[in-house]
Amino acid sequence: MALKQITAAAGEPLTLAEAKQHLRVTQSDQDLVIERLIKAARKHCEKITNHTFMRETWEKTLDAFPAGAIELPKPPLYIVSSIRFLDVNNELQTLDPTHYLADVESYPGWVLPRYGYTWPSTYPEINAVRIRFQCGYADADTVPEDIKTAILLLIGHWYENREATSDKPNNGIDFAVNALLSPYRLMTLV
């Protein structure tokens, strides 16, 4: 099984203006640095939680269909775009979307055959099944505030402590970020 990002996030959960306000920065000479910190902090928080905050497209590959449901990582799941597979004749097929259901309400999301259907047989090949899906919140306004706060805390800490090492304590930043993100943390296998 593998997981590959197809389309990266088009935006960030925080604007440059929001980050600058948090940092109390009014000049524009630090904009590039702050924009990089926004992206790095988002990615760090996504890694901690096993979530995707902004809408992205991913593809999960399997060597064959399992007996039941297939967990799709990187919640929240928005939509399953396609399920393609190598049939028993080693020809690429696209599964009819009326033959499966995507559970976009669960964390993480799932995809499973509809009642009366089963997953088709596949050719015995590595990565014979490819599930393409979109995940992430609809837009920056729908990203939970505690996630945004964790990102802001990291941005502030990294902005003030730009060196690789420092004699300053982290002032509880790890505890604060982890506490804010703990309700979203998933221990799932990719």
Statement to judge: residues 150 and 80 lie in one domain: no
Q: In CATH, what number is assigned to the domain containing residue 166?
A: 1.10.3230.30
Domain boundary among 94, 118, 135: 135
State pLDDT tens for residues 49-96. Answer: 999 999 999 999 999 999 999 999 999 999 999 999 999 999 999 999
When pLDDT is averaged across residues 31-56 and rounded to a whole number, the result is: 96
Asked if residue 5 belongs to a domain, the reply is no
Statement to judge: residues 68 and 32 lie in one domain: no
pTM over 0.75: yes
Spell out where 25-162 has E strands: 56-62, 70-72, 77-86, 92-94, 100-103, 109-113, 129-135
Statement to judge: residues 90 and 113 lie in one domain: yes
> Residue 186's pLDDT is what?
80
Asked if residue 1 belongs to a domain, the reply is no
Statement to judge: residues 129 and 60 lie in one domain: yes
State pLDDT tens for residues 109-139. Answer: 999 999 999 999 999 999 999 999 999 999 9
Position with higher pLDDT, 166 vs 48: 48
Domain boundary among 135, 152, 169: 135
Q: Count structural domains, the chain.
A: 2
3-class secondary-structure state, position 35: helix
Q: What range defines the domain where residue 129 resides?
A: 56-135
Statement to judge: residues 73 and 44 lie in one domain: no
Assess contact for 24 and 156: CB atoms under 8 A.
no
**How many Å apart are CA 45 and CA 34, to the nearest integer?**
16
Statement to judge: residues 48 and 61 lie in one domain: no
For 123, the token pair is 């050719």
**How many Å apart are CA 46 and CA 38, to the nearest integer?**
12
